[in-house]
C-alpha cells in the first residue's frame, strides 16, 4: 500500500485555495478575478445581514404603532350569526355571512367573514370601529414579529440573490473566455505552431 498517495482536497479546501490574495504560479488573472468576485459577493451577503435586521426592526416598530392605534379605535363585540357560515368555494375564498350585535342599546347588522362550521344563532367575536362598522382585528404581537422577520429575510434574500446572479453571470463569462483561449491554444498545439 502506498502511504504517500493523497486524496483530492474537499470542496472547502478547494474554495480556500481559490482565495485571491494567495500567491500561486498556476493561478491565472482570470481565476483571481473570479475569486475576488466571489469574495465580494460573500462580503455583500454578510453586510446585508445588519441592513436587513434594521429594516425588520423599523418595520416591527411601525407595525406595532399601527396595531396600537388600531386597537385604540376598534373594540371587540359578540355578534350572533343570522344564518350558517358560508363555505368558501373556488370563486369566493372569503364569503361573507350576515351577523347582528347589540351595542349601546342599538342593534347593528353587517356581513363579515366567518370561518366555515359556525351555525345560525352561534356567537362570534368581531371587531368594530366607533361607528359600529366591522373591521379587521388589529395584528397581534406574534403576527407583527413574524411579518417583520419575513420582511428582513426578504430584503436580505433579494439583495443576496441579485448579487449572486450577477457574480454567476460574470464568472460564467470569464470561464467561457478561459475555455475559448484554452481551445485556441490546443488548436495551435495540434497544428504544431505552439512556441
Confidence band for 42, pLDDT divided at 50, 70 and 90: very high
91-111 as b/e: b if 16+ CB within 10 A: eeeeeebbbebeeeeeebebe
Residue whose C-alpha cell is 441579485: 162
Which residues, listed in sequence order, are joined to residue 101 by a DSSP beta bridge? 108
CA angle 139, 115, 86 (to 5 degrees): 140
Say whether both 51 and 85 belong to one domain: no
Pair (92, 184) in one structural domain = no
pLDDT tens for 45-73 read 999 999 999 999 999 999 999 999 988 88
Task: Kindly indicate the confidence band of residue 195, based on its pLDDT and cuts at 50, 70 and 90.
Answer: low
How many structural domains comprise the chain?
2
CA pair distance 139, 71, nearest whole angstrom:
9
Gap between the Cα atoms of 103 and 78, Å rounded: 9
Give the structural domain span for 101: 75-137
81/131 same-domain check? yes
155 and 171, same domain (yes or no): yes
Residue 194: pLDDT band (50, 70, 90) is low
Does pLDDT of 85 surpass 90? no
User: Would 46 be classed as within a structural domain?
Assistant: yes
Report the mean per-residue pLDDT for the chain.
87
Give residue 176's pLDDT: 94
Residue with cell 368581531: 126
8 domain-assigned:
no
19 three-state secondary structure: coil
Residues 166, 147 share a domain: yes
The C-alpha cell 373591521 sits at 135
Amino acid at each position: 500500500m502506498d502511504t504517500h498517495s493523497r486524496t483530492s482536497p474537499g470542496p472547502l479546501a478547494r474554495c480556500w485555495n481559490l482565495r485571491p490574495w494567495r500567491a500561486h504560479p498556476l493561478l491565472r488573472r482570470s481565476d483571481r478575478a473570479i475569486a475576488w468576485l466571489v469574495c465580494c459577493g460573500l462580503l455583500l451577503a454578510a453586510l446585508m445581514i445588519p441592513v436587513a435586521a434594521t429594516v425588520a426592526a423599523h418595520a416591527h416598530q411601525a407595525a406595532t404603532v399601527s396595531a396600537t392605534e388600531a386597537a385604540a379605535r376598534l373594540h371587540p363585540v359578540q355578534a350572533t350569526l343570522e344564518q350558517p357560515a358560508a363555505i368558501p368555494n373556488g370563486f369566493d375564498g372569503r364569503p361573507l355571512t350576515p351577523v347582528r350585535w347589540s351595542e349601546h342599546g342599538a342593534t347593528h347588522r353587517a356581513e363579515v367573514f366567518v370561518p366555515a362550521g359556525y351555525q345560525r344563532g352561534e356567537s362570534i367575536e368581531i371587531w368594530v370601529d366607533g361607528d359600529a362598522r366591522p373591521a379587521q382585528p388589529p395584528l397581534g404581537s406574534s403576527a407583527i414579529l413574524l411579518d417583520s422577520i419575513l420582511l428582513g429575510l426578504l430584503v436580505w434574500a433579494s439583495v443576496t440573490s441579485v448579487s449572486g446572479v450577477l457574480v454567476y453571470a460574470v464568472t460564467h463569462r470569464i470561464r467561457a473566455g478561459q475555455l475559448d483561449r484554452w481551445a485556441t491554444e490546443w488548436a495551435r498545439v495540434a497544428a504544431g505552431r505552439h512556441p
